[in-house]
Structure 1
Amino acid sequence: MAGFIGRERELGQLRSRYQSGRFECVIVYGRRRIGKTELIKEFTRDKPAILFSAVENNIGKNVAALSAGIATYRNGTEGNAAGPVPVFANFSDAIEEVFRLAERERLICVIDEYPYLVKADASVSSVLQHAIDRHKDTSRLMFILSGSSMSFMERQVLGYQSPLYGRRTAQIKLEPFDYATARRFVPAMSHEDAAVVYGLTGGVPQYLLQIDDELGIEENLRRNILDPSCYLFEEPAKLLQEELRKPYEYNGIIEAIASGASRFNDIALGSHIDAHTLSPYLRNLIDLGLVERETPFDRPASRKAVYRIRDSFFRFWYRYVPTYMTLIQFGHADVAAAQVMADLPRFMGPVFEGMCRQWLWINNATDAVPFLLLHAGRWWGGDPATQRQEEIDIVATGMDRSQTLYCECKWRNQPTGVEELRLLQHRSDLVPSDDRHWMLFSKSGFTEELVDVAAGDTRVSLVPFADM
C-alpha cells in the first residue's frame, strides 16, 4: 500500500477555498492519528506555503519555529541565501510578515497543533483576530489552523466566545474512514478479512497502516496488536495520557463499559467514580470520539440512554487484551490470538451493523433503498407480549415519517433465512408504521426460501455482504 488514500471530499473543500483567491481561514480538526497532518501535506504539496507545527513549549520557542517556516518560504521565493534564521520579536510581528508576504501572491499559512500555541501564550488568538480584521478584505492569505484537542477546537476556536469566532470561513472535522475507504489500505486481503481489519482499527488511518495485508487476520493479531512491542499494544494508554488528565480514571470508565456496563449508574459503579462527578468524564470521552451516548431511535430524549464504546479499536482492545494480558506478557500471544479468533464473529456483529448503516447512506436516493432516508438509528425496548427486551439493528425514516425501513444485520457463517425475516417483521410491530419495508444484510447470503419470499414482496430487500 502506497500513496495518499481517501479524504477526497476534504481535499476538494480545501482546494475550493484555495481557488477563491480571497482571504480564507479554515479550521481542520479531529482526534489524534486521524490524518490531519497528512491531509494538509497532501493539499499543500504543490502550493506556496508556510508550514509551522506548534510544540508544547514556551512562546519563544514557537515564535522561533514559525520564523524558521517563514524563512524557508522566503528563501524559496526571494532567492535569499541560506544563513541564520531571523527570529521575530513576537508572534504579532511574525503574523504581520505572513500577511505582507500574501499581498503579492496566493499563500497558505498552516499552524498545526494550534492548541499548543495558545497554551504557550493565551493572547495568541486575540493577536490573530486583530490581524485578520485588519487585512482580511485585501489579503490573499489562506490560513489553516489545525488541532487534535477536540474540546479546545470546538469550544475555544469554533465556539461563540472565542476571539476567532466569525473569522473562520470553513471548518473540516476529520472522522475515521468508512469501510469502503479502509479497504483500500489492505488491497491484498479478501473482502471478509478487510472487513475484520476495519473492525479492528475502527477506520483510523494510523491504525490501518499497522496492518500487513500480506498476512492473515490471526497473524496480524499476533504481530501487530497483541505483541507488547508493537505500536498498537500501548496505543490506548498513550492516547489517554496525551489527551486527558487522570488517564487512569478514564481507563476505568472504558473498562467498565467494555465489561458490559452501559447505563450511567452502572458505569459509575463499575469504574468506582461517584455518579455526581461522572458526567464530565463521559463528555470528554464523547468529545474524543471514543464513547457515544445512544437512545432508542424513536425516543431521543429517553431515559433509556446507554453508553457504548464508539471507537472500534478501543472496543476490541478493552474486550480482549485485559482478559489475555497474562498470556500475552508471558510470550503466548499466539494462544491469545487463537482465543480472539474464536470470538471474532461476536465482536464483528456491531461492526457489521455500522457497515450496513454506511451502505444505506451511500446508496440513499438510489433504487437500492426503498425511499429517501433522512434519519436512522438503533432501536431497543420491551415486548409487552413476551415481556422480553427486543432490538432492531437499524430503523430508518424519511420525510414522510409514516414510511419506515427496518434492518437486520447478520455477520455469521450460515445463510440468513425466512425465520430472521419473520422475527424482524414481528419486532417492527413494536415501532409501528403505516408503510413498512424490511431489509436484511447477511455476510453469508440467504436461503433459497428467503430469496423466493423477497422476490414476491417488493417491501423486502436482501443485501449480501458480497455486494456491499
Structure 2
Amino acid sequence: MFVGRDRELAALGRRWNSSRFECVVVYGRRRVGKTTLINRFLEGKPSIFFPAIESNMEGNLETLSRSIAMYRAGLGDAAGDLGNAAESAPIYRDFASALEAVFALAQRRRLAFVIDEYPYLAKADRSVSSVLQHAIDRHKDDSRLMIILCGSSMSFMERQVLGYASPLYGRRTAQIRVEPFGYADVRKFLPKYTAEEAAVAYGLTDGIPQYLRQFDDATSIRDNIRWNIIDPDCYLFEEPGNLLKQELRAPAEYNTVIQAIASGASRSNAIATASHMETSSCATYLRNLIDLGIVRKETPFGEDSPRKTIYRIEDSFFRFWYRYVPVNMPLIRSGNVDMAADRIMRSINDFMGAVFEDMCMQWLWAHNGTDDLPFLLLDAGRWWGADPRTRSQEEIDIVAAGEEPKTMLFCECKWRSVPSELRQLETLRSRSELLHPERAHYMLFSRNGFDEHVTARAAQDDAVTLVDFADM
C-alpha cells in the first residue's frame, strides 16, 4: 500500500515534465520511505536504477554496469531476458565512462537515472562528485537526463551534496527532504484503527513508514506494543541500537546520551554529567544526533539565548523506546513481556502528551490561512520561562505569531481521559501575560472535549477557540 507523498510526487513530476536536464537530490533519514517514493515515481517511466553498495569502487561499477545493461536490454528485443543481459554486461572501467554512456542514452529520449544511497558511492571513491559535476557541465545543455541522487546520511547529503563546498553545488535543480508521515497519513496507513488508536500508533512509530509496516491494525495498541516493539524477537526491539550502529562510529556513547535525555536531562551540561563525559565531547554527540533527526535543539519561542537552550528527543519512537524499554528490561528478559506491556499501557496517556502537542502543531499549519485560525501564522513553537509573580517555571505548549507585532496565539494541548475545564483556559491566559502580547487569542485542544463552563466562556469570547480531537 502506498500512502501520501503527494507533494513529493508532484515535485518530481514537475521536474520530469520539464524535458530538460534535471538533477534532483532526495534525502531523509533511514526507514522514511525514500526508495519507495522514487520507485512509485518511476512507474511507467524509462529509468536506470543504480543502488550503490557499501563496497569498493570496483563492486559499485559492477552494479552500475548491470543496471545500464538491463536498461539497454529493455529497449531491444531482449526485454524478456534482462537477467542474462545484466550477468553478461561489460564492466565500465571507471565512473566517468559509465556516466558518458548514461548521458548518451538520454540525448533523444527522456530518461531517469537514480543513484540510491549516493553516500556509499561517494565514500567508495572521493572523486565521484567531481566526476559527476564535470559530466553535468558538459552535457546539461543538450541532455534530457533526469538524475536523482538519493541518500540517508543526512549530514553527508546536506554538507557534501547540497553544501557550498560540494563540487555539486549549483548543479542541482531541486531538492526534496522526505519527512516522516504526519498523523493524517498515519490514519490512512492504519484504516482499521479509531482516530485515538491511530494517534497512539503515530506516537509509537514517529510516522516512519518502515515502523508502521510492523503494526497490525486488526489488533490492539497494547498487543502491538507487546508483539511488535518490546518482544525481544521483533524487528523494532533492536531498532534503536541497529540504527545507531549503522549511522555512528561510537553507538554506545550515543546510546548513553539519548538515555540521559530520556531520563530528564535537558541542558548540555546536565546531559554531559549524566553521560559521564566532557561537555565538548557531549556537544559533538548532540550535534550528530540532531543531524539524524533523533534529538532536537530548542530555545523558547521568540528567544535565542544560548543559556536557555535545551535538548529533547525529537523522534517519538526513540522517546517511547528509551522511556519504557530499559526500565522494563528485567521483565522483558525474564519472559514477562506481557507484564511489561501492561505497565506501559497504564502510563501511555502521559507519553502521548508531547505527541499530541506535535499533532496540534500539524493541525495549525494544515489550517493556516483558513477561517479556523484568527490570523495567518508565520512562526510557532514552544515557550518556557520563569514567572516572576510566583517564582516558578511555566510552559506554554504552543505560541504562534503572525504579521502584526505582538498579536499572538496561545495554545494548550491536553491528552486526557476527562474533558478540559475552565481552569485550563485561565491558566493559559495567566501564562500568556508573561510574553506581554498586545492582542491575544487562545486555543484549547482536547482529546475528550470540554466541560460546560469552558464551552460557555468560549461562546462569549471571540478570542477563545476550542478544538475537540474528534473534529481534528
TM-score w.r.t. length of structure 2: 0.98
Match of 1:300 in 2: 304
Task: Give 1:78 shift.
Answer: 2.6
Q: CA deviation at 1:272?
A: 1.1
1:179 aligns with 2:176: no
1:16-165, aligned counterparts within 5 Å? 16-80=14-78, 82-83=84-85, 84-165=88-169
Report the equivalent of 1:440. Answer: 444
- Write out aligned runs for 1:335-414 (5 A): 335-414=339-418
Alpha-carbon distance between aligned partners in 1 of 2:368 and 2:440, rounded to the nearest angstrom: 17
Mapped partners of 1:427, 1:302: distance in 2: 22
- Asked whether the equivalents of residues 296 and 302 of structure 1 are also in contact (C-alpha less than 8 Å), the reply is no
Gaps of 5+ in 2: none
Q: Which moved more, 1:86-95 or 1:105-114?
A: 86-95
Paired residue type of 1:259: S
Matched residue, 1:7: 5
Q: Deviations over 1:184-240 (max 9, x none)?
A: 111001110100000000011101111100000111110000100000000000000
* Distance of 1:446 and 1:262 partners within structure 2: 33
Give the alignment's TM-score, normalised by structure 1.
0.99
Q: CA deviation at 1:90?
A: 1.1
Offset, 1:79: 2.7
CA distance in 2, matches of 1:302, 1:117: 38
% of aligned pairs identical?
A: 60
Say which SS state the counterpart of residue 322 (structure 1) adopts: helix
CA distance in 1, matches of 2:148, 2:107: 17
- Counterpart code for 1:325: M
Tell me the distance in 1 between the aligned counterparts of 2:43 and 2:329. 43
Q: In 2, Cα distance between the equivalents of 1:434 and 1:57? A: 61
Q: Residues 244-278 of structure 1, C-alpha deviation per residue, up to 9 Å, x if partnerless?
A: 01000000000000000001100001111111222
Distance 1:27 1:279 in 2: 29
CA distance in 2, matches of 1:105, 1:79: 18
Deviations along 1:314-364, one digit per CA (max 9) or x if unpaired, are 000000000000101111111000000011111000000000000000001
User: In structure 2, what residue type is equivalent to 1:340?
Assistant: I
Q: CA deviation at 1:302?
A: 4.2
Q: Which amino acid aligns with 1:167?
A: R
Q: Distance in 2 between matches of 1:274 and 1:157?
A: 32
Which stretch shows the higher mean deviation, 299-308 or 35-44?
Answer: 299-308
Aligned residue number for residue 167 of structure 1: 171
2:282, 2:327 → 1: CA distance? 25
- Alignment deviations for residues 385-432 of structure 1 (CA, whole Å, 9 cap, x no partner): 111111000000001122100000000011001111111101111111
Q: How many residues align?
A: 466
The reply to whether residue 206 of structure 1 matches residue 179 of structure 2 is no
1: distance between equivalents of 2:50 and 2:191? Answer: 34
Distance across 1 between alignment mates of 2:364 and 2:306: 25
* RMSD of aligned alpha carbons: 0.8
My pick for the range that moved more, 252-261 or 179-188, is 179-188
Determine the C-alpha separation between the residues in 2 that align with 1:109 and 1:250: 36
Counterpart check, 1:428 vs 2:426: no
Runs of 4+ in 1 over 3 A off after TM superposition: 80-83
For the residues of structure 1 that align with 2:465 and 2:135, how far apart are their CA atoms?
57
- How far apart in 2 are the matches of 1:232 and 1:132? 41
The equivalent of 2:198 in structure 1 is 194
Which string of whole-angstrom CA distances, capped at 9 and with x for unpartnered residues, describes residues 130-163 of structure 1?
Answer: 0000000000000000000111000000011111
